[in-house]
Structure 1
Amino acid sequence: MPLDLAKIEATLLAAADAAATCTLPLFRTSLAVDNKLSQGFDPVTEADKSAETAIRAVIAEAFPDHAIIGEEWGTSGNSEYCWIIDPVDGTRSFISGAPVWGTLIGFAHNGVAIAGLMSQPFIGETFLAVPGRATYRRAGAAQPIRTSGQTELAQSRVFTTTPNLFLGEHWPKWQAMESATRLQRFGMDCYGYALLAAGHADLVIEPSLNTYDIAALIPIIRQAGGAIACWDGSEPTGGGDVVAAATPELLKKALELINAA
């Protein structure tokens, strides 16, 4: 049975709207913050939990037979079709009042993400992809997006959330990337991947991602003309050490650099 892409797109948008009704009233307020780690800091708030609940309800009504993976409420269902949710990607940014967090909703078939959405409701921006197109939406208008087309490391702008992610065995890889590229910016969370898809950055590199951190962003990058893979060249939908690039040529050069370091 062919996929109903219009229904998938409508569900992504409806789920993002439902999430925004939970996240926006709590953004830049004195909300309680819990820590999911006994050692270290992995924050979670009521915004994360209630937004995922709202997203799940929209998906379950539209596609009751599909599986769902979410950061806060785990896995439900068993299907070749799976929705992958991070209700607030960038919770540290959220609790700091910085509008670079986003709601991530991905749709995967047989383990490969083929549609996805990143919504930043405070700014009012949505980046969305389904097979055949990637679009940027704001103020009721939608327009196609394309990556920069960059193919050279030396001219590239690279994002990562923080260089501290690379401390330890991965540190030489970050040093090599920093030395090889023109400009580095930090603290973007999921927004950095969206900016890459829209042509404002050329590389994003991050280790140790979970599936819900990256699945929604993969189709946005690919449908905008970019390329994305794990550092060993494998499919990144399941998470792992990931690099995204404006072009397949740039991805190839980035992977060679990473694996030589």
Structure 2
Amino acid sequence: MAVGRKGAAIPAETVAEIVATAHRLADAARGETLRLFRSPDLRPDNKLTQGFDPVTEADRASERAMRAILARERAEDAILGEEYGAQPGVSGLTWVLDPIDGTRAFMAGAPSWGVLIGLADDQGPIYGIVDQPHLGERFEGGFGRALLTARDGMQTPLAVRRGVDLSQATLMTTYPEVGSPQEYAAFRRVADRVRLTRYGLDCYAYALLAAGHVDLVIEAGLQSYDVAAPIAVVQAAGGIVTDWTGGPAHQGGRIVAAGSEDLHAQALELLAE
């Protein structure tokens, strides 16, 4: 038996190995991030000479720990990580790692950051984990799996919320200003039509969409490591993730995620006006 898509089948035993490795990555990242979360020893650095793009030792240690596991267990796979860049592979599979998505939230002690672990082939994400170490919540999607595992080990199926009219929808994004002035104006056209708009949850917003609590997530200016894992989780839960034109979203940029085809279509129409 094999699991895969469009001819790129992956044997079931290999899928089991991949899933086990992904969970070991998430476990290792939990240890490294929690070691410094809400710690007085946290000393953020700024990646930019103008503006502010923070990185901490927790980001770097988290990615190093995950890369060390992949070197032992999946050395043939490629890696793309936020902090240490790209490493080539020969298997046709790439691990896409964001060791802390939401470093600003991490710095502020807010539990809305997460560790993102995605696995992609040449067509995009096929499996992903969105892990929130402080809350002990792990959202997983792909290979026929769509699960939330709580701190106590209890597992709950993930499923998006359907049948919600745009006027009753909950919309989320990370930054109120979203992107450029033009992108912000497009976002406002959607925000002005929904019941509730909330800000600031980074990857956790996509996890809440997959769990059926949020109906739309709209963002701009993202990188591939920001979206690979969330795309896999949302799609596994029955949702849709594209760019603002309805095309593939796994390279980043402008992202719209929705719990239903109807909401997705309405959002795209408003964004394009």
Maintained 8 Å contact 2:160/2:238 = yes
What is residue 230 of structure 1 aligned with on the other side? 243
Maintained 8 Å contact 1:150/1:156 = no
Structure 1 runs of 4+ with >4 Å offset: none
Tell me the distance in 1 between the aligned counterparts of 2:263 and 2:139: 22
Which of the numbers 145, 152, 166 marks the counterpart of 1:153? Answer: 166
Task: State yes or no: 1:214 paired with 2:224.
Answer: no
Choose 44-53 or 127-136, whichever is displaced more: 127-136
Which of the numbers 60, 83, 86 marks the counterpart of 2:98? Answer: 86
Query: What do you get for the CA RMSD once the two structures are aligned?
Result: 1.2
What is residue 77 of structure 1 aligned with on the other side? 88
**Residue type matched to 1:42 in 2?**
D
Task: State yes or no: 1:33 paired with 2:44.
Answer: yes
Which of the numbers 118, 124, 129 marks the counterpart of 2:141? Answer: 129
- Counterparts of 1:1-261 in structure 2, within 5 Å, are 2-3=10-11, 4-30=14-40, 31-79=42-90, 80-138=92-150, 139-260=152-273
Q: CA deviation at 1:132?
A: 1.6
Q: CA deviation at 1:111?
A: 3.6
Q: CA deviation at 1:133?
A: 2.2
Q: CA deviation at 1:163?
A: 1.4
Tell me the distance in 2 between the aligned counterparts of 1:141 and 1:94: 26
3-state secondary structure, aligned to 1:140: coil
User: What is the number of residues matched between the two proteins?
Assistant: 260
Tell me the distance in 2 between the aligned counterparts of 1:150 and 1:188: 24
TM-score, length basis structure 2? 0.92
**Residue type matched to 1:73 in 2?**
Y
- The 1:37–1:150 alpha-carbon spacing in structure 2 relative to 1, beyond 3 Å, is farther
TM-score, length basis structure 1? 0.96
Q: CA deviation at 1:64?
A: 0.8
Tell me the distance in 2 between the aligned counterparts of 1:157 and 1:121: 25
**Residue type matched to 1:20 in 2?**
R
